[in-house]
Amino acid sequence: MSKNLFLVGLIAVLSVLNCISVKADARWGAKLGLPLSSIKFTHADPDKKSEIGSKAGFQIGVFGELGFGGNLNFQPEFFFTQGGGVLSVNKQKDDGETYKKEETYDFGELQIPLNIKYTYHLKKLSIFGLVGPYAGYTIIAKRTENSPVNNSFENLLKKNNEEGERWLENPLEIGVNIGVGVELKNDLFFEAGYKFGLTDIRTETELAAKKSAFSIGVGFYF
């Protein structure tokens, strides 16, 4: 069901981008970014919280920009983004010796942001800010564990028992992103942003999880 909803949204966004490409008052372009993502776990006990350390990735995609008039624009996007996190914990062996266990989470996600963008024009450059919701669908999810007592790999999208349960219960993510940037006169721009998920990617009673990420990027208009 979640995959079908995402595909409907993807078709709609690609249709909008196609319409934008033929309108005289519209622009479109591409951008490449470096996200620094993390995962926040919320336990059933409200006093107990944990967060996986940040992990760098990359993102690449295309976008369109349709003017509403004045300095306000609608900017739909479609891109692939990579992220995850690293969790390091101290464990104890049966003989009392402590060791460090490291779990690395890697995610790959297709995302569709739908942003409202405001641009303030100066003589030699323009400053802009944008905000809007996004929908993402996880297509890659894996966890690698490294420790003196165990080294393992797990596909978090794979059903792991007879009941059909999997670690990543909800591959469809809904969230909000905000960003600011500077556009130069040669159609090159630089952007920084933050996004946070509103939906849990893991929804079991004892432990829920949400993703978030800071990012910086560069892009250009065709």
CATH 2.40.160.20 fits 2-221, yes or no: yes
Q: Where are the beta strands (DSSP E) in 52-187?
A: 55-56, 59-69, 72-92, 98-121, 125-146, 151-155, 172-184
Per-residue pLDDT, 203: 61
Residues 196-221: tens digit of each pLDDT: 988 887 766 566 778 899 999 999 99
Share of the chain above pLDDT 70, in %: 73
Q: Please tell me whether residue 35 adopts helix, strand or coil conformation.
A: strand
Beta bridge partners of 211: 39
Per-domain residue ranges of the chain? 2-221
Nearest to 90 by CA among 79, 98, 82: 98
CA quadruple 12, 14, 16, 19: dihedral, nearest 10: -140
Q: What is the pLDDT of residues 143-173, one digit of tens each?
A: 888 776 667 777 877 766 555 566 677 788 8
6 in Cβ contact with 172 (< 8 Å)? yes
| Residue located via tokens 């303030």 | 120
pLDDT, position 1: 53
Instruction: Say how many C-beta atoms besides its own lie within 10 A of residue 52's C-beta.
Output: 20
Q: What residue spans of the chain are helical by DSSP H?
A: 2-22
Query: In the structure encoding, which two tokens stand for residue 152, read together?
Result: 């393992």
| 22: pLDDT strictly greater than 70 | no
pLDDT mean over 21-43: 79
pLDDT for the residue 69: 75
Q: Are 104 and 146 in contact (CB under 8 A)?
A: yes
pLDDT digits (tens, 9 = 90+) for 167-199: 677 788 899 999 999 999 889 999 999 999 888
Which tops the pLDDT comparison, 202 or 34?
34
Asked if 173 and 197 touch (Cβ cutoff 8 Å), the reply is yes
Q: How far is CA 219 from the centre of its chain?
A: 17
Tokens representing 54?
Answer: 């940040």
Beta bridge partners of 172: 137
Please tell me the total number of residues recorded for the chain in this structure. Answer: 222
Output the pLDDT for position 128. 96
Contact 26, 63 (CB under 8 A): no
What span, in angstroms and rounded, lies between the C-alpha atoms of 162 and 1? 21
